[in-house]
Amino acid sequence: MLKTNFKYLLLTAVFLSIFIAPSALVWAQTEATESSNTQEKIDLIKEKVASRVAELTKAITVGVEGSIEKIEEGLLTLDINGKQKTVNTDKDTVVSKRNSDLSIDELKFDDLEENDEIVVIGEEQIGTDIINAKLITTSSPVIAFTGEVKEVDIKKFTFVLMEADLEYTFDFEKYTDSLKLTDNNFEEAGFTKIKEGVKVQLLASPQKNSETRFTALRLIVL
C-alpha cells in the first residue's frame, strides 16, 4: 500500500513538472514581453512629445518692418501689411532712431508712438506671431515734391514750396544734397540757388507734429 501511494505521488510530481511548469514559464515570458512592449510604446510617446515641445519652443531670428498699431507696457502691436504681430521688449531691447542724415539717436521705449514706422530685429517663436525684440529702429519716410518756390528765408535757411495749390515749408540742412540742372547737366548748388519763382524737385522727410513742414534731403533746382 505504501509503495502504491509512493508511485502515485511520484507520477503526480512528474505530471506537474511536465505540464504545469512549462505553462508557468510561458506565462512569465509572455508577461515580460508584453511589459517590455508597453515600456517601448511609452518611451516612444515621450520622445514624440519632447520633440514636439522642442519644435514649438524653437525660435528663429527675424527682421520685420511695419507700423505701430498699439502700445502697451513693454508690448507693441505691429501691423505688417494687414497682419498683426506682438513685439515683446525688455530692459535689454535697444531702441534707436535713424535720422534723415543717416545718424542714429538712442531712444527709450516711451519715445515710441502709434503709427511710427519701425524695423524690429529679434527672435520669433515658431508657430506664433510673437517676437522678442533685440533691436527696434524708427525711421522717417521720404516723400517726393515738385513745385514752385514761393518764399525764401535766408536767415533761417527755409523756403516755401507751392504744389497743387498747397504750401509746404522746407528746412535746408548742412547735409541737404542740392543740384542745379543747366543745359542737361547737373551742377552742385547751395541754398543761394533757391530763389522765388524757380521750380524745384526734392525728396524730404516729414517733421514730427507737423503735416506741412519737412526737412529737405535732396533737391534739384530746375
Confidence check: pLDDT of 29 > 70: no
Of 106, 132, 130, 112, nearest to 121 (Cα)? Answer: 132
Choose one of 107, 139, 171: the last residue of a domain: 139
Does residue 168 share a domain with residue 123?
Answer: no
Q: What is the pLDDT of residue 222?
A: 84
pTM higher than 0.75: no
Segment holding 48, helix H or strand E? helix 21-57
User: What CATH code is carried by the domain that includes residue 195?
Assistant: 2.40.50.320
Collapsed DSSP state (helix, strand, coil) of residue 217: strand
Does residue 135 share a domain with residue 66?
Answer: yes
Condensed to tens digits (0 to 9), the pLDDT of residues 128-186 reads: 888 999 999 887 677 889 999 999 999 999 999 999 889 999 999 988 888 887 877 78
Asked if residue 204 is part of any domain, the answer here is yes
Q: What percent of the chain lies above the pLDDT cut of 90?
A: 27
Q: What is the pLDDT of residue 100?
A: 62
The stretch 105-111 carries a mean pLDDT of 88
Q: What percent of the chain lies above the pLDDT cut of 70?
A: 73
- Averaged confidence pLDDT in the chain: 79
Collapsed DSSP state (helix, strand, coil) of residue 7: helix
Q: What is the pLDDT of residue 89?
A: 92
> Hey, how many other C-beta atoms are within 10 angstroms of the C-beta on 161?
24
User: What CATH code is carried by the domain that includes residue 64?
Assistant: 2.40.50.140
Asked if residue 85 is part of any domain, the answer here is yes
